[in-house]
Homo-oligomer: A and B are copies of this chain.
Amino acid sequence: MADTVDIIKKLSDNAIKVDKFINSTLVPRKPEILYDASRYLISAGGKRLRPFLTIKSCEAVGGDPELAIPFAGGLEILHNFTLVHDDILDNDPIRRGSPSVHTKFGVPIAICAGDLLFAKVYEAMSYYASPKVKNKQIRKCIEIASKATIEICEGQVLDVSFASTDRVTEDDYIFMVGGKTSALFRACAEIGATVGGGRKGYVKALGKFAYDAGIAFQIVDDILGLTADQKTLGKPTGSDIREGKKTLMIIHALSKISKKDLKVMRIALGNRRASKDEIKDAIELVKELGSIDYASKKADRYIANAKKQLKKLPDTEAKKDLTELIDYFTQRNY
């Protein structure tokens, strides 16, 4: 419990510094509506998990965390850019309990706001980076960020395409999450470690740590989507089922399900007009089929693998923070 309080305090301290940077790069200009739309989601707050990963990876290799801030801020902006566009793709009217950007500002402005945020990522890393960061490091960071974004786009399209088919394997899911979530986690760790001047082996170990942590994080997020209440989630419980998302649990459940139960599942899965009770029945089925336990064990395996990577690094306060981070974000209360 002391650890949890500790990590929350550290996250919040980092968030303040990162938000200060983000605010300074997103100063409104003309046209006002574009900047309102671009700032709307990112100003609503968030745990700033990815910046924390960036800054702590910098520290874990002995780097100066101050130098990592524009990169950490840039990567949070990158994350927000993907959320803005992702909500359009998924036709999601709500994000974190509030209207999503395209619901509030319309699709055209939301597309432009995402694009603006994406451009800001590279401005942050090139223009706002401290002169103390070597140009060679900056070039490497930009390469990492661009390659990660390519993987994110691939993951997003896979995620959308999975909604319209049942033939999605567990490998497909892991590959999709690898792009959609883990690629950015890995980029955060690698960029932090690169800015920190870490040797190749450390950069690689931190990248692998973050990649596996990302997969565990996504699995747990998917689990909570079925088990947590609407207030905690900021959206209705079981939204993934309504949207036809092929999460690890759904893939597992579909592989075990009886013909009779499949009919119950079909009523809810991918049916945007499914009633609360129909969704509830589908969630019950997923539970009964042991799919939540299955996914939970999978997550544990990724967490263990992630932690193994951290062993390759020298013992530091930052390394301890990264361990606590993964524990904190993969907690399941169900």
Contacts and interface: CB of A to CB of B under 8 A. Distances in A.
A109 interface: yes
Interface in A129-187: 134-136, 138-140, 142-143, 145-147, 149-150, 152-154, 156-158, 160-161, 175
A115 interface: yes
Interface in A1-40: 29-31, 33-34
A119 B153 CA distance: 9
Given A122-B142, A126-B139, A153 B116 contact: yes
A127 interface: yes
Interface residues of A, number: 48
Contact of A89 (B33, B112, B136): B112
A110 to B, nearest CB: 10
A153 B34 contact: yes
A45 interface: no
A120 interface: yes
Contacts of A145: 122
Interface secondary structure of A, over-half rule: helix
A107 B143 CA distance: 28
Contact of A108 (B125, B127, B138, B160): B160
A52 interface: no
A88 interface: yes
Contacts of A158: 30-31
Number of copies: 2
A246 interface: no
Given A85-B115, A126-B143, A147-B123, A29 B138 contact: no
A209 interface: no
Contact of A33 (B109, B127, B140, B157): B157
A213 interface: no
Contacts of A142: 122, 125-126, 142
Contacts of A156: 112
Nearest to A157: B34
A118 interface: yes
Interface string A32-73: 011000000000000000000000000000000000000000
Contacts of A150: 116, 119-120, 123
Contacts of A118: 115, 118, 149
B127 A31 contact: no
A111 interface: yes
Nearest to A129: B139
A159 to B, nearest CB: 10
A119 to B, nearest CB: 4
Given A115-B149, A121-B146, A122-B142, 17 more contacts: A30-B175, A31-B154, A33-B157, A33-B161, A34-B153, A85-B112, A108-B157, A119-B147, A120-B150, A125-B142, A126-B140, A126-B142, A126-B143, A127-B143, A135-B135, A135-B136, A142-B142
